[in-house]
Homo-oligomer: A and B are copies of this chain.
Amino acid sequence: MSTLCVPSQVPSVAEDCEQLHKAFSGSIGWGTNEGLIISILGHRNAAQRKLIREVYAETYGEDLLKSLDKELTNDFERVVMLWTLDPPERDAYLANEATKRWTSSNQVLVEIACTRSPKELLHAREAYHVRFKRSLEEDVAYHTSGDFRKLLVALVSSYRYGGDDVNLILAKSEAKLLHEKICEKAYSCDDVIRILSTRSKAQINATLNQYKNEFGNDINKDLKADPKDEFLSILRSTVKCLVYPEKYFEKVVRLAINRRGTDEGALTRVVATRAEVDMKIVKDEYQRRNSVPLDRAIAKDTNGDYEKMLLALIGHEEA
């Protein structure tokens, strides 16, 4: 469900590197050639970008990310930089940024912990060690507190079972348990956090289906008792990220675009992290929910090279 378009004939890595180097040095015209950068990096998959970064460093003695950092600016720089990073390293980078700028309304940690596969989250934690010489859970625990800490540390530390096996008896009993705790408004109690942070996604899905069958509401409706409560809001995101990640991402994109002044940070993050994963479904969800194609909404709200790079990643050119 990727929206990335890789040409059927890809130039050699050496050629890509040479072109990128030319694009930076401006030897083709005046200044940096952003179009060339988009035409290369915007159309290579993760394995190809990784190889480009390696060969570029060998050939020119400088990390490609450093060259990008010198030549590009603002939103365009950020989307190219995030996109060029290897996915586990990118998750580590985003998670680290989120711990440092953490506020109770910041849901990036939940997003990384819950929308990635158990293996992907593990690889992000490994990349975190390498890059920051600390563990992800260590930084999350240090920068958060109270109920948020309780939930977030458990979510980022979990290594869930990834299989499809489901225990229906357990699903029934835990649906009942969740319902009891929600009725008591014990939202941050151990059992709620234990279920959401340790059960496999398949098991949680079964539990939440039982919840709906037995008690009539989507759990997220019952978690909306106080719409301003930020802990409830992060619990709803947790559920959404675990069970309907594409709907979660659609909403992040919708809010980023619809507010006064686009939230480029969120838009860039979603496009850079999902283009190679499930962006096609996110786009479909967006169109269904907003009656406007996502590429048209992005074209309306952004401009220049930033716009072009986003559109390349969501597969607009080829539409």
Contacts and interface: CB of A to CB of B under 8 A. Distances in A.
A312 interface: no
Given A133-B163, A133-B165, A162-B129, A138 B190 contact: no
Contacts of A141: 194, 197-198
A129 B161 contact: yes
Nearest to A119: B126
Interface string A187-209: 00010001001111000000000
Contact of A200 (B134, B194, B199): B134
Contacts of A302: none
A34 interface: no
A50 interface: no
A122 interface: yes
A111 interface: no
A231 interface: no
A233 interface: no
A200 B138 CA distance: 9
A158 interface: yes
Tier of interface size on chain A: 20 to 34
Interface hub of A125, A134, A163 (most chain B Cβ within 10 A) = A134
A160 interface: yes
B142 A200 contact: no
A161 B190 contact: no
B154 A157 contact: yes
A64 interface: no
A137 B118 CA distance: 13
Contacts of A125: 159
A158 B135 contact: yes
Contact of A160 (B138, B149, B162): B138
Contacts of A150: 190
Contact of A122 (B122, B142, B154): B122
Contacts of A162: 129
A234 interface: no
A119 to B, nearest CB: 9
Given A125-B159, A134-B161, 18 more contacts: A129-B159, A129-B161, A129-B162, A133-B163, A134-B200, A135-B159, A135-B160, A135-B200, A136-B159, A137-B198, A138-B160, A138-B161, A138-B198, A141-B194, A153-B154, A153-B198, A157-B158, A157-B159
22 contacts: A122-B122, A122-B159, A129-B161, A129-B162, A133-B161, A134-B161, A135-B160, A135-B161, A135-B198, A136-B159, A137-B157, A137-B159, A138-B160, A138-B161, A138-B198, A138-B199, A141-B194, A142-B198, A145-B190, A150-B190, A157-B159, A159-B159
List the 8 closest A-B pairs by CB distance, nearest first. A157-B157, A138-B198, A141-B194, A135-B161, A133-B165, A141-B198, A137-B198, A129-B161
